[in-house]
Amino acid sequence: MAKKLNDLLAEYGKARDEIKSLQAQEKELNVIKRELEYQITIRMQEEGLDKISNSGRTVSIKQEIVPTVEDWDALQDHVVKTRQFELLQKRMSATAYRELISLGADVPGVISTELTRINYRST
């Protein structure tokens, strides 16, 4: 026999609550992890180490360069002019797309896919 809609809603709410709890725990653990990473990095640098190991765990320090865009207009102009589209991640803005198609615009190379989702609010 199929579950009653009320029971499905209750189970759904419980699952969402459990996910929210786990996400809060993950957030707390990530704060602890970042603090430990900072402390380990400082101690290793003070001791002139770039790699340490114990009981099957190994930590090494690496430097890497990551971008921070200060002027999006300048970056976009550069990408268009040089065609270095690999500098950007391939993901469309769903909000901007919905706005364009609501105005009757056509976006070449893109098809609309309709997703059905439920909106849940707890009281």
Per-residue pLDDT tens listing for the chain (123 residues): 899 999 999 999 999 999 999 999 999 999 999 999 999 999 999 999 999 999 889 999 998 999 999 999 999 999 999 999 999 998 999 999 999 999 999 999 999 999 888 787 777
Residue 78 lies in a domain: no
**Structural domain harbouring 23:** 5-60
Count of CA atoms in the C-beta half-sphere (13 A) of 3: 8
Asked whether residue 114 is assigned to any structural domain, the reply reads no
Give the count of domains, the chain.
1
CA distances (Å), 20 to each of 24, 25, 26, 34, 92, in order? 6, 9, 10, 21, 27
Question: Structure tokens of 51?
Answer: 């790699």
- Burial of residue 34, with CB atoms counted within 10 A of its CB: 0-12 exposed, 13-18 middle, 19 or more buried: exposed
What pLDDT shows up at residue 89? 92
Domain presence at residue 37: yes
